[in-house]
Amino acid sequence: MTHTDGRPGGAPAPSRDELGDAVWTIPNALSALRLLGVPLFLWLLLGPQADGWAVVVLMVSGATDWLDGKLARALGQSSKLGALLDPAADRLYIVATLVAFVIRDVVPFWVVALLVGREVVLAVVLLVLRAYGWPPLQVHYLGKAATFLLLYAFPLLLLADGVGPLAAVVAPVGYALTVWGTALYLLAAVLYVVQAAGLVRQSRAEARVQR
């Protein structure tokens, strides 16, 4: 499944095999910074319940998510490590936010069940691919779009959990982004599963030919 990464002309994004092995790069440092923000974000939500600062952490995470991809392309620093860290940070923020939101009763349980179930299915898919000798699938643009929507929806849901006119204004926007983001997130998972199934069939066909 070929897809683009937003480069001019719709050029296909490079596969992981074409990426460099560099570790100490600016994009990787930004991804690591995002990962370090996950426990801070959870503590802010569940400890002092400093929702304002938690929103700031999410905003910084979203900004660095956009920036590390731009810098990787602009500086020629795309790497295999970065291709792993970036989606890992996205998923950790989403799962951490969902756990905190369930504990604080901010979002319905069905939303959490769908999104966490999606991660479980993709984890199984990853194990199957590894068993057949395939690397993890490259992040699909639909998955990135879904993550973008959810990372914007979550701060709005936090604000909607409060009181006053601001909560009333942001609540419908936050819930709409949550529904759209969840739908795209599940659709991206379906595409990942379809792509993985194709790779497994290819491996089995090659194995039969070699017999």
Domain span including residue 101: 16-210
Each residue of 143-182: pLDDT tens digit? 888 888 887 888 888 888 777 788 888 889 988 998 999 9
Q: Which band of pLDDT confidence, cut at 50, 70 and 90, is reported for residue 80? A: low
Tens digits of residue pLDDT in 96-120 = 888 888 888 888 788 888 888 888 8
Count of domains observed in the chain: 1
- What pLDDT is stored for residue 2 in this prediction? 34
Residue 7 belongs to some domain of the structure: no
Domain at 116, CATH number = 1.20.120
pLDDT score of 10: 39
Instruction: Look at residue 160 and tell me if it is in a domain.
Output: yes
Whether residue 1 is contained in a domain is answered as no
Q: Where are the alpha helices (DSSP H) in 23-164?
A: 26-46, 51-75, 80-103, 109-131, 141-160
Q: What is the DSSP letter of 48?
A: S
Instruction: Flag whether pLDDT at 53 surpasses 50.
Output: yes
pLDDT at site 21: 60
